[in-house]
Amino acid sequence: MSADPNIALVTDSTASLTKEDRERLDISVVNLYVILNGEQRRENEIDDYASFYKAVLESPQLTTTSQPSVGDFMEVYAPLLDAGKDVISLHLSGGISGTCEAARQAAGQLEADGLGGERITVVDSRTTAGGLALTTLGAANAIAAGKSVEECVAQIEGARDGLETLIMVDTLEYLRKGGRIGGAQAWIGGALKIKPLITLEETVRPVEKVRTTSRAMQRLKDFASEKAASGEEITWTAQHIQAPELAAELAAHCREVFQCEGAFLDEMFTVLGCHAGPGLVAIGTVPTALVGSKF
């Protein structure tokens, strides 16, 4: 992708973009952190997910996460500003993380220091994971099309508003422990007996309760079929946490109904895994017209 050399795009690691994704879309990434057994690690430093989640289960301490520091953002922004670029910085929902606020503080500090922070535009995606990846795709396509910062932000906002997600979690226990339970709090009493279907609209919102994984998977497939029936060209993503076979099953159905490949088909990174837990499968869709192209 040949992007406008005057605008740089930054996102955070919860978008779960692979190295190939980042290079293809010309995106810089600021990492969040995982704190396991008292040791803080950047999200991109964890590559053996099976061992990581085993350690989480075996740890006597609650595994926690942390947003990037103001310094982390400044470290990424500074060379981009030095190169004369404007920066669009697109991040996970401010309703579940202080990441956007840290980005704004970093921009403010760079502006106060006379280092160009006024050329940084921070945008709250109001989502994360595959949804954040799809809105990032919209931003990258807008930059590549030579649009201004204001026009790029408008495309991001359009993609954000057109985005729809449906997420199956194996249990609400991880969300409860991490304090990210949102409107699904009322479901906690029967959480061990259901497979919750949720979405993320700034914060976690409950959608439906089903009894079995197979029923939940069928609901995800129905969601895809409903979007395909709209007649619009759709860009889609399927992601998972330690559930590759279920994600592959969902992706196969999506390929059939949408008649195209998915934009992002990856395992979510570990910050989200700590809060949602293994067994998660998610689908995200957005009208292709709102993101500019499928890839």
115 and 218 share a domain? no
Distance from first CA to last CA of the chain, Å, rounded? 9
Sort strands 7-12 and 86-91 into parallel, antiparallel or unpaired.
parallel
138 and 63 share a domain? yes
**Considering only CA atoms, which of 258, 287, 247, 210 is closest in space to residue 129?**
247
* pLDDT at residue 127, as a whole number: 94
DSSP codes joined into one string, 7-65? EEEEEEGGG---HHHHHHHTEEEE--EEEETTEEEEGGG---HHHHHHHHHH-SS--EE
18 and 38 share a domain? yes
21 and 120 share a domain? yes
- How many structural domains comprise the chain? 2
Q: Is residue 2 part of a domain?
A: no
Residue at a domain's end among 162, 190, 209: 162
212 and 76 share a domain? no
Cβ–Cβ under 8 Å, residues 10 and 80:
yes
* pLDDT at residue 177, as a whole number: 60
* pLDDT at residue 275, as a whole number: 81
At 220, is the secondary structure helix, strand, or coil? helix
**Considering only CA atoms, which of 110, 118, 112, 99 is closest in space to residue 29?**
99
pLDDT profile of the chain (295 residues), mean per 10? 74 94 95 94 92 86 91 98 98 94 98 98 96 96 96 97 92 61 49 74 82 94 97 96 96 97 93 86 96 85
Rg of the chain over Cα atoms, rounded to whole angstroms, equals 19
Query: 221-238 b/e with 16+ CB inside 10 Å = b?
Result: bebbeebbeeeeebbbbb
Q: Is residue 221 part of a domain?
A: yes
* pLDDT at residue 172, as a whole number: 67
Residue at a domain's end among 112, 142, 162: 162
**Considering only CA atoms, which of 124, 69, 72, 68 is closest in space to residue 95?**
124
Which residue range forms the structural domain that includes residue 197?
A: 164-291
